[in-house]
């Protein structure tokens, strides 16, 4: 029997995601690409420092996962950044390699020298940011954008125009300026930039629709931050309206609250929308662990898709469900099966929330036997111990507690 799109061996999500009323307005492009910005925007998170070797290792892991484009850094930042970009290009890992630059001719020259295929070129697009933060005349911003984007194109680079603070600009006014840059300078694609993460999902949809009305068939790319936790939803909204490239980072690292997390967008597209963009999802957990280690950041254990605690079962109720369903029916208990994202297998852990099935399973694993009454006493002892320590129990701690209970009962 053919499987339903909302249920497979790897996942089980709501069938409502596939209702005609839900899907009729979706306009996902056929070929959506991931443009990973971990090595540039990700490193802008306070306290994150990637060495040249770190960047190469992350780029290799991104390539193994099937990421389509890697923004390898900004050459002008430091000799190490420049060297990392050159080495990543030299290794020919598979993904297209882009550099990031200001709309300045010297920045473009440095990018050209690294050998990258394309360039993401930033310029402020909101009048208040240009005048207050940059203290530039608007005409200067426009002229530099025209000159530098044209120069990048003339030297063979694919140009993604990146208007900073696009989402807080007066839309018609900003698009007027962007159209001028496109006509007098050059752009192969336009990034829809929510620099401060201030879009709602519904305004993200409006954003894409209004830009498409004015900019015609130019390729649109989403770059949404997480300041209100909307980066994933906004990215999906943008893609569903026809944007074909998503800017994301591993773990969502990035400036302030970070960028849309790649692993979350990829898995949401695949399971909730049936859109497989070619990423090897079994690499996601390993990739996340690599970035976590090299960035030296703390990741919540319940982080979506890649959290270390997602497949640890403490609740007594869920333990009973898992025991009854077994591993073959794991998606009755988990929305995504662990090996679909490269996570270790599910395990029953012991803590304050555990139940009698948890105790019986652990007794069996420890090669111990207890009466029903003793098993219940062990459970109460486990709960008291967890309350005292505020931690889950190790197998050794559980064994010691169980032995005391069983020994006391025997005496």
Same domain, 257 and 343: no
Same domain, 396 and 282: no
- Write down the pLDDT at residue 131: 64
What does the DSSP assignment read for 114-137? HT-SEEEEEEE-SHHIIIIII---
Same domain, 98 and 148: yes
Q: Are strands 219-224 and 33-36 parallel, antiparallel or unpaired?
A: unpaired
Whether residue 53 is contained in a domain is answered as yes
CATH number at 234 reads: 3.20.20.70
Same domain, 101 and 151: yes
| Domain limits for position 319 | 312-410
Whether residue 169 is contained in a domain is answered as yes
Same domain, 170 and 241: yes
Same domain, 92 and 200: yes
Cα-Cα end-to-end distance for the chain: 58
Whether residue 302 is contained in a domain is answered as no
- Write down the pLDDT at residue 174: 87
Domain endpoint, select from 243, 268, 295: 295
Structurally, the chain folds into a number of domains equal to 2
| Positions in the chain whose pLDDT score sits under 70 | 1-2, 125-139, 409-411
- Write down the pLDDT at residue 376: 97
Whether residue 381 is contained in a domain is answered as yes
Residues 6+ apart with CB under 8 A from 319: 313, 348, 354, 355, 357, 358, 361
- Write down the pLDDT at residue 127: 67
- Write down the pLDDT at residue 1: 46
- Write down the pLDDT at residue 129: 59
Same domain, 110 and 250: yes
**304 exposed, middle or buried (CB, 10 Å; 0-12, 13-18, 19+)?**
middle
Same domain, 389 and 354: yes
Whether residue 185 is contained in a domain is answered as yes
For the stretch 184-227, pLDDT in tens is 999 999 999 999 999 999 999 999 999 999 988 899 999 999 99
- Write down the pLDDT at residue 142: 82
Residues 6+ apart with CB under 8 A from 4: 15, 18
Return the H-helix or E-strand segment holding 59: helix 52-65
Whether residue 245 is contained in a domain is answered as yes
Q: What is the DSSP letter of 394?
A: P
- Write down the pLDDT at residue 411: 44
Same domain, 244 and 354: no
Return the H-helix or E-strand segment holding 221: strand 219-224
Written as six digits, the tokens of 110 are: 């440095």
- Write down the pLDDT at residue 138: 65
Whether residue 307 is contained in a domain is answered as no
From residue 73, give the alpha-carbon distance in Å to each of 51, 76, 82, 355: 12, 9, 8, 50
- pTM assigned to the model: 0.94
Same domain, 353 and 240: no
Same domain, 127 and 89: yes
Whether residue 303 is contained in a domain is answered as no
Same domain, 258 and 361: no
């Amino acid at each position: 029997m053919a499987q339903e799109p909302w249920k497979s061996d790897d996942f089980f999500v709501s069938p409502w995601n596939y209702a005609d009323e839900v899907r009729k307005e979706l306009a996902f492009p056929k070929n959506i690409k991931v443009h990973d910005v971990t090595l540039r925007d990700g490193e802008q998170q306070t306290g994150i420092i990637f060495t040249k070797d770190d960047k190469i290792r992350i780029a290799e892991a991104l390539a193994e996962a099937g990421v389509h484009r890697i923004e390898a850094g900004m050459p002008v930042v430091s000799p190490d950044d420049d060297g990392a970009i050159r080495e990543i290009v030299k290794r020919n890992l598979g993904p297209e390699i882009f550099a990031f630059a200001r709309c300045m001719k010297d920045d473009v020259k440095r990018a050209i020298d690294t050998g990258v295929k394309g360039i993401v070129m930033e310029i402020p697009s909101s009048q208040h940011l240009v005048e207050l933060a940059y203290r530039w005349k608007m005409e200067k911003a426009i002229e530099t954008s025209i000159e530098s984007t044209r120069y990048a194109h003339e030297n063979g680079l694919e140009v993604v125009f990146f208007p900073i603070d696009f989402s807080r600009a007066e839309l018609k006014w900003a698009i007027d300026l962007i159209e001028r840059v496109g006509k007098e300078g050059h752009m192969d694609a336009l990034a829809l930039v929510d620099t401060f993460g201030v879009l709602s999902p519904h305004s993200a949809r409006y954003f894409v629709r209004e830009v498409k009305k004015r900019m015609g068939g130019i390729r649109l790319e989403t770059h949404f931050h997480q300041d209100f936790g909307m980066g994933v939803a906004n990215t999906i909204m943008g893609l569903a309206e026809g944007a074909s490239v998503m800017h994301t980072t591993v773990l969502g690292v990035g400036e302030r609250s970070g960028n849309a997390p790649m692993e979350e967008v990829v898995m949401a597209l695949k399971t909730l929308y049936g859109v497989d963009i070619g990423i090897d999802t079994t690499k996601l957990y390993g990739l996340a662990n690599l970035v976590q280690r090299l960035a030296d950041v703390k990741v919540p254990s319940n982080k979506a898709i890649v959290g270390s605690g997602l497949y640890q079962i403490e609740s007594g109720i869920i333990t009973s469900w898992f025991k009854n369903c077994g591993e073959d029916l794991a998606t009755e208990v988990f929305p995504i099966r662990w090996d679909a994202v490269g996570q270790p297998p599910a395990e029953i852990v012991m803590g304050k929330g555990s139940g009698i099935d948890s105790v019986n399973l652990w007794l069996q694993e420890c090669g111990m036997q207890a009466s029903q009454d003793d098993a219940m006493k062990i459970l109460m002892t486990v709960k008291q111990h967890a309350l005292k320590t505020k931690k889950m129990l190790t197998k050794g701690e559980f064994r010691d507690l169980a032995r005391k209970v069983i020994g006391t009962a025997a005496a």
